[in-house]
A = this chain, B = another copy of it.
Amino acid sequence: MLLQKEIDLRDPVRLGEELHRFAAELYPICRSITGDGLRQTLAAIGNRIPLRLVEVPSGTHVLDWTVPKEWNVRDAYVADSSGKRVVDFQKCNLHLLGYSVPIRARMPLSELKSHLFTVQEHPDWIPYRTSYYKESWGFCLSQSQMEELRDGEYQVLVDSTLVDGHLTYGECYLPGRSADEVLISCHICHPSLANDNLSGLSVATFLAQLLPGRDLRYSYRLVFLPGTIGAIAWLAQNRENIGRIRHGLVLTCLGDAGGFHYKKSRRGNTEIDRAAAHVLAHSGDSAGILEFSPYGYDERQYCSPGFNLPVGCLMRSVWGSFPEYHTSADNLDFIHPRQLAGSLQVCAAIMDVLENNRRYCNSAPYGEPQLGRRDLYSSVGGNTIGIEINARLWVLNLSDGQHSLLDIAERSGIPFLVISEAADQLMENGLLNEVQGENGIGPA
């Protein structure tokens, strides 16, 4: 059964709530590119799917980068002269500039200000800022909080550790008939931010739960890792296996109320690019297809010119295009059960295309085969035909060994699902022969 049909059988409201609940469970954790927050997050994912954890020591050279020290925080605040905490990491982990070095100091507001970050356009929102590779400290606060700060002396505490340790990532491998792989990648380094990217890791985790026990054409590798440095570390440690990746998706920002966006891989016309565009075009939602650009999420690394992998990025609203992006307003209210379930549905439909995108030869290619005698055509003539018969005609007409089912779906404008079912019926009637794929992916 197709993945999307299996999801259709489930209660979408309940499914969406389960996805949202998982995001909510992870929301409070203080994540960064290293540290115990990452480990807690991976442990929660590991409760649901088989996950191998990898610890990469600080100082390890990975491609052009070096794994940084591990960062952990016990407490952090700015207190006024009366000792009252006016900015408090305990209330919201976004308040602390990511990777802030330890400090305990007193200083006047004027000096403190160079360490404070706000979003002026939205006076109640706290921005998300980091300083991974330049040792620094700072606090993020709302513009309203900032304006309430009176002149005077403040006490600053960052009770963090930044010491040799490890960068942690998780990998879930689900073997299929072929060693060729589909890569699903999520960044898990953002602290209390819901759309970016608890939505992505929640959808990816649920997708991984659907796959085991199925007769899979491809093997699936889902990686959950800190953005940029995590993807770079993973690539560095898996260079010999990179060639197996046939298709890949970065999943992020999948819970907000916006329509879908798919950002193409650097190659721009790979099977994943076409599968995603096809599924989105038939998703019923408004959807945008974006050309590749080298800024964004970890497709930056997968699509660097040396690797040039067929990896795109699936989102709803595009990073940077919504004001809540990288602020405290990207919270659990900003992501919706219904949207999360819809995103899982779209991911499943894309996987269905990859799993079933075969190439056939019409075994009766001279003229149309007589579908009527095989009960594949309407018996009364004179009326126009329905989409199922039309799909059969398309599959027969283009099955010359040159066109895949996705080619046929694209050219006909008929959803892949309907084309794929038409092919199944024609196969059963001996009207098609499957062509062995050029990439060693054998028949179903």
Q: Which of A112-129 contact B (CB under 8 A)?
A: 117, 127-129
Residues of B within 8 A of A308 (CB): 400
Q: Which residues of B contact A326 (CB under 8 A)?
A: 382-383
- List CB contacts (< 8 Å) of A192-250 with chain B: 228, 231-232, 235-236, 239
A to B CB contacts below 8 Å, 11 in the list: A98-B382, A117-B380, A129-B380, A129-B383, A133-B370, A232-B368, A300-B368, A304-B367, A304-B396, A305-B398, A308-B400
Q: Does B64 contact A382, Cβ atoms closer than 8 Å?
A: no
Establish whether residues B304 and A382, one from each chain, have CB atoms under 8 Å apart when the complex forms: no
Contact status B368-A64, CB under 8 Å: yes
Do A399 and B305 touch (CB < 8 A)? yes
* Chain B nearest Cβ from A256, distance in angstroms: 17
User: How many Å lie between the Cα of A382 and that of B127 in the bound state?
Assistant: 8
Decide if B64 touches A364 in the complex (CB within 8 Å). yes
Q: Is the CB of B132 within 8 A of A384?
A: no
Given contacts A64-B366, A293-B412, A304-B367, 19 further A-B contacts (CB under 8 A): A65-B370, A97-B380, A98-B381, A98-B382, A117-B380, A130-B380, A130-B382, A131-B380, A228-B368, A293-B394, A294-B394, A294-B396, A300-B368, A300-B397, A304-B396, A305-B362, A305-B397, A305-B398, A305-B399
Number of interface residues of A (CB under 8 A): 63
Say whether B131 contacts A367, CB under 8 Å.
no
CA distance A306 to B369 in the complex (A): 11
Question: In the complex the two chains form, what is the Cα distance from A362 to B394 in whole Å?
Answer: 45
What CA separation (Å) do A11 and B161 show in the bound complex?
57
- Asked whether any CB of chain B lies closer than 8 Å to the CB of A373, the reply is yes
Of the residues B304, B379, B384, contact of A365 by C-beta under 8 Å:
B304
- Shortest CB-to-CB span from A341 to chain B, Å, is 29
Q: Given A133-B373, A295-B393, do A64 and B367 touch, yes or no (CB 8 Å)?
A: yes
Chain B residues within an 8 Å CB radius of A98? 381-382
Knowing A304-B397, A397-B303, say if A133 contacts B367 (CB, 8 Å): no
| CB neighbours of A136 from chain B (8 A) | 379-380
Residues of B contacting A117 with CB < 8 Å? 380
A52-80 contacts to B, CB under 8 A, are 63-65
Q: How far is the CB of A94 from chain B (nearest CB, A)?
A: 10
Known: A134-B379, A294-B397, A393-B294. A368 touches B129 (CB 8 A): no
Report the minimal beta-carbon distance from A371 to chain B, rounded to whole angstroms: 9
Whether a CB of chain B sits under 8 angstroms from the CB of A372 is yes
Does A266 have its Cβ within 8 Å of any Cβ on chain B?
Answer: yes
